[in-house]
Amino acid sequence: MDWDHIVEELKEILQIPLKREVMSADDWDRLASRRQTQEDILRRGGKNGRVYIALGTPKPDLVEVLELEEALVTPSELRLVEMLLEAWAGKAHLRSEEPVQLVNEDERKALLVREWLLDRLESGDFRADMPEPLATQLSLYTPRIPFLVNGDYTGMRKVSYVELKRLLESFFDEEILLIPLMEKEWLILGSEGLLTASQEEDREGGEEETQEEALFSLCSGLYEMLSNEWVGECHVTTNYPKTPAASLLSSVQEMREAIRLGKKYHVGSNLHLPWTMHMERLLYAVPDQDRMQFVDHILRGIDHVLDQEMLSTLENFFALDCNVSETAKKLYIHRNTLLYRLDKFKQETGKDVRTFNDAVLVKTALLLYKVTKRK
């Protein structure tokens, strides 16, 4: 391990003096809680305002340490140093306990962000700012568009960080930050310019695209590319452009929630956008028993009516704001055929989805129906 090079990189990041030294195992025992072994590195000790981080044991009775002045670093910066050393020592690994082969500097940096993210997410601290040295090094003080990808490929498949990053940069036509989170879960940070480019293309076509529509287009294109050229089946979400140094935790938490809710309430869909999940988020908080009682009350005894054709009809009708003509076009059926189906549903349930109140009740019940039916 080229610790000299690593220490120089740490000095450049932290802008503080660092020193390597070797001490006896007995001296280390007086600083740390227990003696180091070759497999148990990076235990921390301290004395007289100095912090010592063990790098390894070159001999059974010796411990190599990194020494720094405690007053010159914040607790978060100290943790960052430890994570850097873990990564460089080859001890950083995915939560699946599979060893990570650190290929290049980009992957090392990504693993540092990953470790910090997962540590904060697991603690439920969604408001923490990223440690300044890490955010500065990765230029995360400018707005970025986040994407989250959750793969449905088999667990046996090995995903190459370098190959995936190259594929994504070819798709976006710019440099991106790729961060592997849990197994089959990848966070992508692209520039805000992606959004601007998408909106400009639509303006040239004579249409003004909203921010949400532009984000959906980017997300949809990303899904198509990944499903066809990389992982096959996968789930994709995105979020509004934000400054990662201050908001990455909350953004990832929102995107994870969107995928979780989408998988639960919109089976068959692969794009799950946070700003479309308000009702699903509310329903998810309702106890299971209450959900089932509501479904029974609104859709009591009509399983024979809710075949795939009727479900598709109602879902498209609601998605198109209860517009009869647009729904008939979308389903490639005559307007009278659509009206016949809606009348049939009204006869069976007593609910006329062409009225606002009944439409709200039925839309809510259908969201819950698919979940309770699977159970």
Report the alpha-carbon distance of residue 241 to residue 219 in Å, rounded.
Answer: 13
**In the predicted model, what is the mean pLDDT of the chain?**
81
Report the alpha-carbon distance of residue 161 to residue 92 in Å, rounded.
Answer: 15
Report the alpha-carbon distance of residue 8 to residue 286 in Å, rounded.
Answer: 54
- Give the pLDDT confidence score for residue 301 in this predicted structure: 63
pLDDT classification of 89: cutoffs 50, 70, 90: low
Tens digit of pLDDT for each residue in 209-256?
Answer: 789 999 999 999 999 999 888 767 889 999 999 999 999 999 999 999
Torsion angle of the four alpha carbons 210, 216, 220, 226, in this order, in degrees rounded to the nearest 10: 120
Report the alpha-carbon distance of residue 339 to residue 368 in Å, rounded.
Answer: 24
Tens digit of pLDDT for each residue in 255-269?
Answer: 999 999 998 888 788
Asked if the model's pLDDT at residue 99 lies above 70, the reply is no
Asked if residue 64 lies in contact with residue 58, where contact means CB atoms within 8 angstroms, the answer is yes
- Give the pLDDT confidence score for residue 147 in this predicted structure: 97
- Give the pLDDT confidence score for residue 275 in this predicted structure: 94
Query: Nearest CA to 299 among 365, 373, 359, 371?
Result: 365
* % of the chain with per-residue pLDDT over 90: 34
Report the alpha-carbon distance of residue 257 to residue 227 in Å, rounded.
Answer: 21
- Give the pLDDT confidence score for residue 16 in this predicted structure: 80
Asked if the model's pLDDT at residue 115 lies above 70, the reply is yes
Query: Nearest CA to 367 among 270, 272, 299?
Result: 299
Of 337 and 208, which is predicted with more confidence? 337
- Give the pLDDT confidence score for residue 37 in this predicted structure: 39
Asked if the model's pLDDT at residue 158 lies above 80, the reply is no
Report the alpha-carbon distance of residue 326 to residue 328 in Å, rounded.
Answer: 5
pLDDT classification of 201: cutoffs 50, 70, 90: low
Of 153 and 288, which is predicted with more confidence? 288
Of 180 and 201, which is predicted with more confidence? 180
- Give the pLDDT confidence score for residue 276 in this predicted structure: 92
- Give the pLDDT confidence score for residue 153 in this predicted structure: 66
Asked if the model's pLDDT at residue 41 lies above 50, the reply is no
- Give the pLDDT confidence score for residue 202 in this predicted structure: 61
Asked if the model's pLDDT at residue 183 lies above 60, the reply is yes
Tens digit of pLDDT for each residue in 272-309?
Answer: 999 999 989 988 888 888 888 888 888 776 666 678 88
Residue keyed to tokens 């007995």: 26
Report the alpha-carbon distance of residue 41 to residue 49 in Å, rounded.
Answer: 21
Of 27 and 334, which is predicted with more confidence? 334
- Give the pLDDT confidence score for residue 55 in this predicted structure: 78
Of 107-111, 153-157, 349-353, which range is least confident?
Answer: 153-157
- Give the pLDDT confidence score for residue 61 in this predicted structure: 78
Asked if the model's pLDDT at residue 45 lies above 70, the reply is no
Asked if the model's pLDDT at residue 360 lies above 60, the reply is yes
Of 10-19, 56-65, 93-102, 202-211, which range is least confident?
Answer: 93-102
- Give the pLDDT confidence score for residue 220 in this predicted structure: 94
Taken as a whole, the chain contains a residue count of: 375
Asked if the model's pLDDT at residue 96 lies above 70, the reply is no
Report the alpha-carbon distance of residue 274 to residue 240 in Å, rounded.
Answer: 9
Asked if the model's pLDDT at residue 71 lies above 50, the reply is yes
- Give the pLDDT confidence score for residue 284 in this predicted structure: 86
Of 87-91, 140-144, 266-270, 299-303, which range is least confident?
Answer: 87-91
Report the alpha-carbon distance of residue 273 to residue 217 in Å, rounded.
Answer: 11
Report the alpha-carbon distance of residue 35 to residue 33 in Å, rounded.
Answer: 7
What are the beta bridge partners of residue 145?
A: 190
Asked if residue 36 lies in contact with residue 118, where contact means CB atoms within 8 angstroms, the answer is no
- Give the pLDDT confidence score for residue 59 in this predicted structure: 75
